[in-house]
Structure 1
Amino acid sequence: MSELMSALLTGAIALAVVFHLAWLARASRNKAKAALAAEEASIHAVIPDAIDVSDGTAGVATWAGSWNGERAQVRTIVDTLATRKLPARWLSVSITEPVAVPGIFDMMMRPGSPTTFSNFDHLEHTLPKATDLPAEAVLRTDRRGVAFPQDVIAAHAGVFAEGRAKELLITPKGVRIVWLLAQADRARYGVFRQAAFGDARLDPALLEELLAAASSIRHAINQRERQAA
């Protein structure tokens, strides 16, 4: 083969590789757009007035609106911290209305490594735990010596009987529940270091369930406080 033919063949191969990579990138963008559109449709099915209020943080999408007359926020978070065995995709659901609590109450299930969605590791005080809360839970607060109505919280935290519920955060400004949507495909992450979550989608029924749980916790705490007053 002449040097000219060899050069032409090398150039053709390089051009084919460039076109293939461009096609893969375009296909990936189209797939991401379709997934985002499906996710927005799921959120609007439950929170019709939800608007995208994301701040541009990589891997984080945030919507805000109203649910049953209460302000609500929905956030999806891709957690790729090196301390995790596999990247995870979390769903954070919040009712952002006042709660009658004296500080931060943070219940984390099976805390073992830092997370990108919580300040649990920065809370200084561990709370004694009521026996009717999950055995795998650890409770922390920002204030020493405060008491929270753990019996009320436990009575309305049934979603934490399922293994995918990760965190319950209660502050004077609202209630948040964090749920594990999916973990990255082990084989693909092990070979390509890509956080691919397959066909995991945001189910409107799950979103409704978590909003209802957060709302019921808030209302139960506020009702207890009114009765005590």
Structure 2
Amino acid sequence: MTSALLVGAVALALIPHLAWLARASRNRASAALAAEEASVHAVIKDAANVSDGTAGVVTWTGSWNDRRVQARTIVDTLATRKLPARWLSVSITEKVAVSGTLDMMMRPGSPTTFSNFDHLDHTVPKAAGFPSEAVLRTDRKGVRFPLDVIASHLDIFAEGRAKELLITPNGVRIVWLLAEAERARYGVFRQADFGNARLDPLLIERLLLSASALRDAINQNERQAA
């Protein structure tokens, strides 16, 4: 009887503590989201949060330099990864003068949650100027892309944190590695803790500039060839 009463008392004492931990976790998440929205708004002034509730994914859309754009953060916890990763996806969602999808993935060793790269059937031979660790694929065999133009706009991939370049008729996207989970905490608790990794407005703008310049170059090349 005494043991049962003791267990009951401990359980009752734990309930308020667990509720406090849950509230604290929600408050931290809300504060982190507010900080990241402020970073996005610093670059995309009219950004609206259009997230659909997918766990680990937050999406904003808006306009930048009179172009429709999208910024998205993605937490990738696929079991095939050694460590969970947090990605930043930045897109210019305007028309591009290409007739198919071209997806360049750096070091494509495992599936990702942010890309359909693994579902593209056709490999595209690389032209001079492409990173040695890049693999190119497309959805349509025989489609020609201005690879020389694209190769001249890949400086951002030299740093090792840019993961993917996606070019479609509807836009250009660059995916960037924000952070990997802390190894020790993930190894013990299986919790994806990314420390103090936050969105940097300068990074968002830099990726937008890179994607926008590439789109302009492709469209200009098409106009000159016409």
Aligned length: 226
Deviation of 1:164 (Å): 0.7
1:138 corresponding residue in structure 2: 135
1:67 corresponding residue in structure 2: 64
Distance in structure 2 (CA, Å) of the matches to 1:53 and 1:218: 24
1:34 corresponding residue in structure 2: 31
Asked whether the 8 Å contact 2:182–2:195 carries over to 1, the reply is yes
Deviation of 1:128 (Å): 0.5
Q: Which amino acid aligns with 2:98?
A: V
1:76 corresponding residue in structure 2: 73
1:85 corresponding residue in structure 2: 82
| TM-score normalised by the chain length of structure 2 | 0.97
Q: Which amino acid aligns with 2:201?
A: P
Q: Which amino acid aligns with 1:147?
A: R
Asked whether the 8 Å contact 2:101–2:168 carries over to 1, the reply is yes
1:208 corresponding residue in structure 2: 205
Question: Are 2:109 and 1:98 aligned?
Answer: no
Coordinate RMSD, CA, aligned? 1.1
Question: Any idea what SS the aligned residue of 2:177 has?
Answer: strand
Point out the more displaced range, 152-161 or 208-217. Answer: 152-161
CA deviations 1:136-168 (Å, max 9, x no partner) are 000000111122111111211211011110000
Question: Are 2:130 and 1:108 aligned?
Answer: no
Question: Any idea what SS the aligned residue of 1:139 has?
Answer: strand
Question: Are 2:43 and 1:46 aligned?
Answer: yes
Deviation of 1:8 (Å): 4.5
Distance in structure 1 (CA, Å) of the matches to 2:187 and 2:17: 23
Q: Which amino acid aligns with 2:161?
A: R
2:217 corresponding residue in structure 1: 220
Q: Which amino acid aligns with 2:190?
A: R
Asked whether the 8 Å contact 2:128–2:151 carries over to 1, the reply is no
Residue ranges of structure 2 left out of the alignment (5+ in a row): none
Deviation of 1:130 (Å): 1.1
Residue ranges of structure 1 left out of the alignment (5+ in a row): none
